[in-house]
Amino acid sequence: MARRRRHEEEHESHERWLVSYADFITLLFAFFVVMYAISSVNEGKYRVLSDALVNAFRDTAPSSDNFIKLPNQALAGTPPRVAASLPARKPELEAQAKKMRGMAGDIRGALGPLIEQGKVRVTQSKRGIAVEISDSVLFDLARAELQPASVTMLKTVAELVKRNDNLIQVEGHTDNQPIHSPQFPSNWELSAARAASVVRLFAENGVAAKRMVAIGYAEFRPVEPNDAADARARNRRVTLNILADNKDEVAVLPLSETTPPAHQ
């Protein structure tokens, strides 16, 4: 009997794995409960933050619906800087656009006769105001000294732009006819010297020098093919770019932002 009892005691159970399996299932269930709790997002907070970020990248004012209809606790989840600054963005942009429109109108009014003659064009884009002036108005052929008649006109423009703090980029352009004078070995020097002459006159008439830059493009940014005398005359020009929103540095406008060739 003792031998038989000892044999029964040594019998091994093959169902212990159920205990470990039950523990594993319990832990897995707890894991998914925690993950679900973490992934539950307050829809109001999410909509406010999403709207703020999308409008910030689009540079437009955010929709006011979320700020009006959602409860106050929804706004609490929005970063203070985003929630506070973006609603005030729209008036700022409107004021800036109004200022640029007014400046463009003043310049058109001051240069009206030259615009009618086709010697000056004033265009406006998101980058600012472009005032394109034919070189025949400003300079003698192959020269960089301003003609006396052009000085009065440029002084008028300087009086208009010095009232504001917008940065000004002055571009000199030539046609593709080569120049080989002691003063100007190539069109690079001629175009840069012409832009510098305009910048210098502006500085002498009250426009802060730190707001301006002179750039010479030579013949490499034509608005028309250089295959006819009229087209070459069109390419010989000086362009004043009054930048709309660039307070940190004077940026060179890309080729796509240059004044369009269509006549005004």
pLDDT surpasses 90 at 89: no
Mean pLDDT of 13-17: 68
Residue range 114-136, pLDDT digits in tens? 999 999 999 999 899 999 999 99
> 170 burial class (0-12, 13-18, 19+ CB within 10 angstroms)?
buried
Q: Which residues does 198 contact at the CB level (< 8 Å), separation at least 6?
A: 138, 146, 154, 170, 214, 238, 240
**1 domain residue, yes or no:** no
Band of pLDDT at residue 200, cut at 50, 70 and 90: very high
**84 domain residue, yes or no:** no
**2 domain residue, yes or no:** no
Residues 174 and 69 in one domain: no
Q: What is the pLDDT of residue 5?
A: 55
pLDDT surpasses 60 at 264: no
**52 domain residue, yes or no:** yes
Report the side by side order of strands in the sheet with 120-125: 120-125, 128-134, 237-243, 168-173, 212-216
**4 domain residue, yes or no:** no
Residues 134 and 242 in one domain: yes
Cα 238 to Cα 8, 214, 219, distances in angstroms: 109, 10, 12
Return the minimum-mean-pLDDT range out of 6-15, 128-137, 177-186, 255-264.
255-264
Q: What is the CA radius of gyration of the chain?
A: 35
Residue range 214-223, pLDDT digits in tens? 999 999 999 9
Q: What is the pLDDT of residue 226?
A: 93
Q: What is the pLDDT of residue 142?
A: 92
Q: What is the pLDDT of residue 253?
A: 45
**128 domain residue, yes or no:** yes
Q: What is the pLDDT of residue 30?
A: 84
Which residue among 25, 49, 78 closes a domain?
78
**105 domain residue, yes or no:** yes
Domain that includes residue 213, residue range: 93-257
Q: Of the ranges 2-11, 49-58, 106-115, 242-251, which is most confident? A: 106-115
Residues 115 and 69 in one domain: no
Residues 69 and 104 in one domain: no
Mean pLDDT of 235-250: 79
- Domain containing residue 231: CATH number: 3.30.1330.60
Residues 176 and 240 in one domain: yes
Residues 65 and 157 in one domain: no
Residues 67 and 138 in one domain: no
d(CA 260, CA 172): 16
pLDDT surpasses 60 at 248: no
Return the minimum-mean-pLDDT range out of 30-39, 181-190, 196-205.
30-39
**How many domains does one find in the chain?**
2
Band of pLDDT at residue 8, cut at 50, 70 and 90: low
Residues 164 and 249 in one domain: yes
Residues 247 and 127 in one domain: yes
**6 domain residue, yes or no:** no
Residue range 137-195, pLDDT digits in tens? 999 999 999 999 999 999 999 999 998 899 999 999 999 999 999 999 999 999 999 99
Residues 165 and 111 in one domain: yes
Residue range 36-88, pLDDT digits in tens? 777 655 666 656 666 766 666 565 444 444 444 444 444 444 455 444 444 44
- Whether this prediction's pTM lies above 0.85 is answered by no
Q: What is the pLDDT of residue 155?
A: 96
Band of pLDDT at residue 207, cut at 50, 70 and 90: very high
Picking from 164, 159, 126, 172, the residue whose alpha carbon sits closest to that of residue 247 is 164
Residues 108 and 222 in one domain: yes
Residues 245 and 120 in one domain: yes
